[in-house]
Amino acid sequence: MEELKPQHTSYADEVSASDDYAARFAGPVGTWMLAQQASLTLKLLTNFSKPQSILDVGGGHGQLALPLSRQQFDVTVIGSSELALRQVKLFDRSTQIRCLKADLLHTGLESGSFDVVLCFRLLPHIEQWQALIAELTRLTRYGVIVDYPTSSSLNVLSPLLFGAKKGFEKNTRPYALFRPAEIRAAFAQHNFVSKACLREFALPMVLHRMLKSPNLSAVLEDLARRSSATALLGSPIIELFVPDRHPKRA
């Protein structure tokens, strides 16, 4: 883990489901960012026959539950409190998303209750992230998709630039950075292996917010993707983990 630490709370998903956090993705640039996230997630879901059930852990922000529901996926969102489910309930007017309230580390749900489990905007903000991964792997039948900011990107400068970032964005919060090997090792503890890994943005998201032009951002990111810069330095990472059908014997 890097020097920049998250704010450790029992309800880390409440922040990402707040009005203040939703404002970070308001407007054309925010809409473009969320569209990239949803597009990459849908691409990873093509690794399965269309899942019958998806669990979005800590997904009360609605960033994925809403677009996936509109694509006819059967989506359940689990949050740590009513506040943590606020956004998805506000916007769930024309969808059939189910909402559950439970301890995210000990949901009380049966093992293998869902085909695919998602967890976005949570790993870098929770102290017991290994315990969270354990619960994610327990709940799925076929796979887990998570996102996380990586130190193998320009985010490595985050500890130095956090003050300036907060000055511009106002409502940013501390977060942990991960090496992909850390996340993969945590999943391997539960006999899950990486199936596919996609990187979202070559440039820091705060820079796209500063540019205030989704068209310009799209051009810059397309150039980065074509030059392989995104594959090398992109962040956040969206990664699919599946059960290891041939685990190594101890």
Domains of the chain: 12-243 (3.40.50.150)
Q: Who contacts 233 (Cβ-Cβ below 8 Å, separation ≥6)?
A: 152, 153, 154, 199, 202
Give the CA distances from residue 79 to residues 15, 55, 59, 87, in Å, rounded to whole numbers and listed in that order: 11, 11, 7, 11
> pLDDT class for 168, splitting at 50, 70, 90?
very low
Report the sign of the C-alpha dihedral through residues 96, 101, 105, 107, in that order: negative
Mean pLDDT of the chain: 86
- Of 172 and 203, the structure prediction assigns the larger pLDDT to 203
- Residue entry with tokens 């327990």: 138
The predicted pLDDT at position 74 comes to 94
> pLDDT class for 206, splitting at 50, 70, 90?
confident
> pLDDT class for 156, splitting at 50, 70, 90?
low
Evaluate if residue 94 carries a pLDDT over 70: no
Report yes or no on whether pTM surpasses 0.85.
Answer: yes
Can you tell me the mean pLDDT for 242-249? 79
- Residue at 216: amino acid letter: L
Can you tell me the mean pLDDT for 34-55? 93
H-state helical runs in 9-97: 12-16, 19-23, 27-45, 65-70, 86-91
Q: What is the enclosing helix (H) or strand (E) of 204?
A: none
Evaluate if residue 3 carries a pLDDT over 50: no
Can you tell me the mean pLDDT for 68-73? 91
Can you tell me the mean pLDDT for 117-140? 95
The predicted pLDDT at position 119 comes to 98
Backbone angles phi, psi at 98, to 5 degrees: -90, 145
- Of 10 and 180, the structure prediction assigns the larger pLDDT to 180
